[in-house]
Every structure is written in C-alpha cells, then in structure tokens.
C-alpha cells in the first residue's frame, strides 16, 4: 500500500477535533440554532443565544422600507452569515420558526449574497413580541429590487425563535 494511502487510512480513524463550545447564555434565550452545526452550548447539540450573545457578534444596520411598516425603518441586528459562521453551519438551507409556529425556508445562499440581518432593534428601540420581535429576519429590500418579492417577504420571519440548519 503506498505511503499516502496508509496516511489517509490512518487519519480517517482519528476522531475529528471537536469545535470549542459556545458559552452558555446568561439571560433569556432569544434564539436557538439546531441541525447541521459544529458549535453548540447545550447537551442536545443546539446553540442557544441570549440578547448579549447576539449583540457580541456585532450589529449591522439596514435602512429599508418593508411591506409591514408605513415608513422607511432603520433596523439593527446580527448579520445572518455571521451567526451561521459562529455556529459553524454546514447546511444549504434554514428552517426559520416563529413564536406562533409560522415557518419559512431560507437558502443559506441568501445570507452569503445579501446583508440579511436578524434584527433586534428598529428605529433605536429593542424589538419585542408586540412589535415583531424580539428577532425579525430583515433583508435589505431597498438595496436590490429582486428582494421586493412575495417569496422573499415570506422568508422574513418575525418573532423568530429557532433556526434549523439543513
């Protein structure tokens, strides 16, 4: 057996080094990420985030109109691609679930192509369940006219509580 084949065979027997776990949430869990992820902070392999953990990932601003607001809004939140990187997401799609169990499928490619954010604030106010929060998936609708479409609006889950990476 050639030396390279032996090295590959032996290397395949060694377990992959586990990713360092995420820190546990200290406050109320706003978002749970499950599925095909490499980093978690729970025994069942989910990644749970409180507001402080999400904010620590860095906030990005998106100023845009939406079909749900009468004026242009300034949203602040975590870039979806940043969150997916933090949990080492390995899938090609996301199943987003709201508090009322509404679900939508999003291609991971959306997060790579556009500055999709998990909005935590709108016009300098923390989002709450009463006003489509505490997390609202926001696309930069005004930055690309192809984003002003019913299919994209359907992916804009408000009152988001869970993402499953598939």
Instruction: Give the model confidence (pLDDT) of 89-101 as tens digits.
Output: 999 999 999 999 9
Instruction: Give the model confidence (pLDDT) of 40-54 as tens digits.
Output: 999 999 999 999 999
Distance CA 38, CA 50 (A): 19
Of 87, 74, 97, whose CA–CA distance to 36 is shortest? 87
Distance CA 157, CA 18 (A): 32
Instruction: Give the model confidence (pLDDT) of 68-87 as tens digits.
Output: 999 999 999 999 999 999 99
Of 46, 41, 3, whose CA–CA distance to 22 is shortest? 41
Distance CA 158, CA 32 (A): 15
Strands 47-50 and 29-35: antiparallel
Residues 6+ apart with CB under 8 A from 65: 71, 72, 73, 141, 142
Instruction: Give the model confidence (pLDDT) of 5-30 as tens digits.
Output: 444 444 444 344 567 999 999 999 99
Of 143, 135, 146, 130, whose CA–CA distance to 62 is shortest? 143
How confident is the model at residue 19, as a pLDDT?
Answer: 79
How confident is the model at residue 17, as a pLDDT?
Answer: 52
- Sorting pLDDT into bands at 50, 70 and 90, what band is 103? very high
Of the chain, the end-to-end C-alpha distance in Å amounts to: 38
8 vs 106, which has greater pLDDT? 106
Preceding peptide of 134 cis, ω within 30°: yes
Residue 63 has pLDDT above 70, yes or no: yes
Beta bridge partners of 121: 76, 126
Q: If you average pLDDT over residues 99-110, what whole number do you get?
A: 98
Distance CA 144, CA 113 (A): 11
Mean pLDDT of the chain, nearest integer = 92
How confident is the model at residue 49, as a pLDDT?
Answer: 98
């Amino acid at each position: 057996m050639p030396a390279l084949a032996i090295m590959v065979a032996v290397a395949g027997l060694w377990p992959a080094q586990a990713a360092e776990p995420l820190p546990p949430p200290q406050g109320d869990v706003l978002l749970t990420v499950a599925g095909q992820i490499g980093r978690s902070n729970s025994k069942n392999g989910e990644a749970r985030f409180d507001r402080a953990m999400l904010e620590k990932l860095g906030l990005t601003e998106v100023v845009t109109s939406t079909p749900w607001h009468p004026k242009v809004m300034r949203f602040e939140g975590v870039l979806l691609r940043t969150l997916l990187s933090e949990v080492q997401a390995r899938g090609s799609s996301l199943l987003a679930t709201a508090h009322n169990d509404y679900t939508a499928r999003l291609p991971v490619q959306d997060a790579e192509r556009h500055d999709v954010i998990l909005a935590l604030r709108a016009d300098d106010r923390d989002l709450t369940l009463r006003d489509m929060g505490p997390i609202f998936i926001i696309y930069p609708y005004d930055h690309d006219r192809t984003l002003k479409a019913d299919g994209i609006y359907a992916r804009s889950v408000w009152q988001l509580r869970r993402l499953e990476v598939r």
